[in-house]
Chain A
Amino acid sequence: RKEVEQDPGPFNVPEGATVAFNCTYSNSASQSFFWYRQDCRKEPKLLMSVYSSGNEDGRFTAQLNRASQYISLLIRDSKLSDSATYLCVVPNSGGSNYKLTFGKGTLLTVNP
């Protein structure tokens, strides 16, 4: 299994839809996970941190399944402004407690 793997998409959804992205990881010892959002030609920005079973922030919910080693991001009531690439990020398996490994991202386009 790759260190982190995401469905590359693209996902095209209408405004108001609910969309979910999944991400699998290989390092079973990982304790923290992150979802970042990256707009076209911009830097990644932290969307959510996940340290236990999940996290919720408004329309965004992240869930962690340690047994199956996957993380999901659910976006409810999609807005046009949610169009971006979403990066799943996990701790690097090299043993340090500060290096992260970034997934290649899932492209989301929300259509009017």
Chain B
Amino acid sequence: DGGITQSPKYLFRKEGQNVTLSCEQNLNHDAMYWYRQDPGQGLRLIYYSQIVNDFQKGDIAEGYSVSREKKESFPLTVTSAQKNPTAFYLCASSNIMLTGVNQPQHFGDGTRLSIL
């Protein structure tokens, strides 16, 4: 089945620890995104990538890092510099159209990160 796979589903982080969230897609989408959602809040963009080996900061990039070494993969590292990492993390992907018309984003089923 085509889709986006995020792992793990649940993750616990100790103080001072970096953790990496995995996101893989087999939809052949060019663009990939990471969002953070806090309880009762909307989605906030952390990082996004339009093409392999290129990515841009979103609205709340501090304390996070990403890489895009393959089209299919866009892992997110939550570093120890992120002081309030407890949240629901969502990865998404989308096509990019030459017409310039935005396309919908498709989401993985998310990773819940908590502090130990």
Write the residues of chain A forming the contact surface with B, with a CB cutoff of 8 angstroms.
30-32, 34, 41-46, 49, 51, 87, 89, 91, 96-100, 102-105
- Residues 105-116 of B, flagged 1 when their CB comes within 8 A of A and 0 if not, give 111111000000
Binary A-proximity of B81-116 (CB < 8 A = 1, otherwise 0): 000000010100010110011111111111000000
Q: Is B43 an interface residue (CB 8 A)?
A: yes
User: Closest 10 CB pairs between A and B?
Assistant: A104-B42, A43-B107, A91-B102, A102-B43, A97-B100, A98-B31, A32-B102, A98-B96, A46-B104, A31-B101
For A100, the chain B residues whose CB sits under 8 A away are: 94, 102, 104-105
Name B residues whose Cβ lies closer than 8 Å to a Cβ of A.
30-31, 33, 35, 41-43, 45, 48, 50, 88, 90, 94, 96-97, 100-110
Asked if A42 and B42 sit within 8 Å, CB to CB, the answer is no
| CB-CB under 8 A for A99 and B45, given A44-B107, A45-B107 | yes
Contact A104 B90 (CB under 8 A): no
Q: Cβ of B48: which chain A residues have Cβ within 8 Å of it?
A: 98-99
Q: Which residues of the other chain, A, contact B30 by a CB distance below 8 angstroms? A: 98
B102–A98 CB distance below 8 A? yes
Task: Report yes or no: A98 in contact with B42, Cβ–Cβ below 8 A.
Answer: no
What is the CA–CA distance of A42 and B90 in the complex, to the nearest angstrom? 10
Residues from chain B with a CB closer than 8 A to the CB of A89 are 104
Q: In the bound complex, do residue B109 and residue A42 qualify as a contact, i.e. CB atoms below 8 Å apart?
A: yes
Bound: A102/B37 CA distance, A: 11
Which A residues touch B90, using CB under 8 A? Answer: 43-44
Question: In the complex, what residues of B have CB within 8 A of residue A97's CB?
Answer: 96-97, 100-102
